[in-house]
């Protein structure tokens, strides 16, 4: 394990996915979880994906968030080469509004799961929270920060709801 490896790797098929995937990074920042982001494509840079996925665990990553749009094979291919949990974010495509991305990610064959989030920014933000929840299982300080985050969220909703 490399001491400087953050627990979360955020990978995405293209730089054009970053406006969506940065929502995951923002949630992780908010919860005090370190992350590293890189562009890796199963289609365009298969060797780079192989190198990443087959070494991710040994490097010290704990969770992989993988976002891709259209024929979104990246999360599933990453999951096929690592036993780290992979959280898949369907990036909204122009032609089919992300339904293609969603179906490409969610329909994994039995035995190789990808935890699939909602399409677009909400899914990316939830991927950040879910990654933190996984890490919090073995990090009590992070678990407390998550509880505070959830309580603040409840309070802010409560303020907008009239009895
Ligand atoms: N779905 C994939 C993969 C993959 O799954 O490996 N690699 C790139 N892409 C997707 O192609 C879309 C368009 O990419 P460009 O904007 O670069 O043309 C992006 O949403 C990307 O995730």
Per the annotation, binding residues for substrate are 14, 17, 44
Enclosing H/E stretch for 12: strand 8-12
Distance from the alpha carbon of residue 87 to the mean position of ligand 1, in angstroms: 17
Is 0.95 exceeded by the ipTM?
yes
1 within domain boundaries = no
Distance from the alpha carbon of residue 21 to the mean position of ligand 1, in angstroms: 13
pLDDT, tens only, 71-100: 999 999 999 999 999 999 999 999 999 999
User: Which of 5, 81, 7, 6 minimizes the C-alpha distance to 40?
Assistant: 81
162 within domain boundaries = no
At residue 2 the predicted structure's pLDDT band, cuts being 50, 70 and 90, is: very low
Q: Tell me, what CATH number does 43's domain have?
A: 3.40.50.1970
Q: How many domains in the chain?
A: 1
pLDDT, tens only, 123-158: 999 999 999 999 999 999 999 999 999 999 999 888
The DSSP result for 42-100, as a single string, is TTT-HHHHHHHHHHHHHHT--EEEEEEESS--HHHHHHHT--S-EEEEEEPPTTTTTHH
* Cα 108 from Cα 95, distance rounded (Å): 22
133 within domain boundaries = yes
Residue in this structure with the two tokens 């991305």, named with its chain if needed: 101
Enclosing H/E stretch for 18: helix 18-30
* Cα 8 from Cα 160, distance rounded (Å): 33
120: alpha, beta or left, given left = phi > 0 and alpha = psi -120 to 50?
A: left
105 within domain boundaries = yes
With 0-12 CB in 10 A as exposed, 13-18 as middle and 19+ as buried, what is 69?
buried
- The DSSP code for 17 is G
Print the domain residue range for 72.
Answer: 8-154
Distance from the alpha carbon of residue 45 to the mean position of ligand 1, in angstroms: 11
């Amino acid at each position: 394990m490399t001491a400087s490896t953050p627990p979360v790797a955020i990978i995405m098929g293209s730089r054009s996915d970053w406006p969506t995937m940065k929502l995951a990074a923002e949630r992780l920042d908010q919860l005090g979880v370190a992350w590293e982001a890189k562009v890796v494509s199963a289609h365009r840079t298969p060797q780079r994906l192989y190198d990443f996925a087959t070494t991710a665990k040994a490097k010290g990553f704990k969770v992989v968030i993988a976002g891709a749009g259209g024929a979104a094979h990246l999360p599933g291919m990453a999951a096929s080469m690592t036993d780290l949990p992979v959280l898949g974010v369907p990036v909204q495509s122009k032609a089919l509004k992300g339904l293609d991305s969603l179906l490409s990610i969610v329909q994994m064959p039995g035995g190789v799961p990808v935890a699939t989030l909602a399409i677009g920014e909400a899914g990316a933000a939830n991927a950040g929270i879910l990654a933190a929840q996984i890490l919090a299982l073995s990090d009590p300080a992070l678990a407390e920060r998550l509880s505070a985050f959830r309580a603040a969220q409840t309070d802010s909703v409560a303020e907008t709801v009239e009895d």
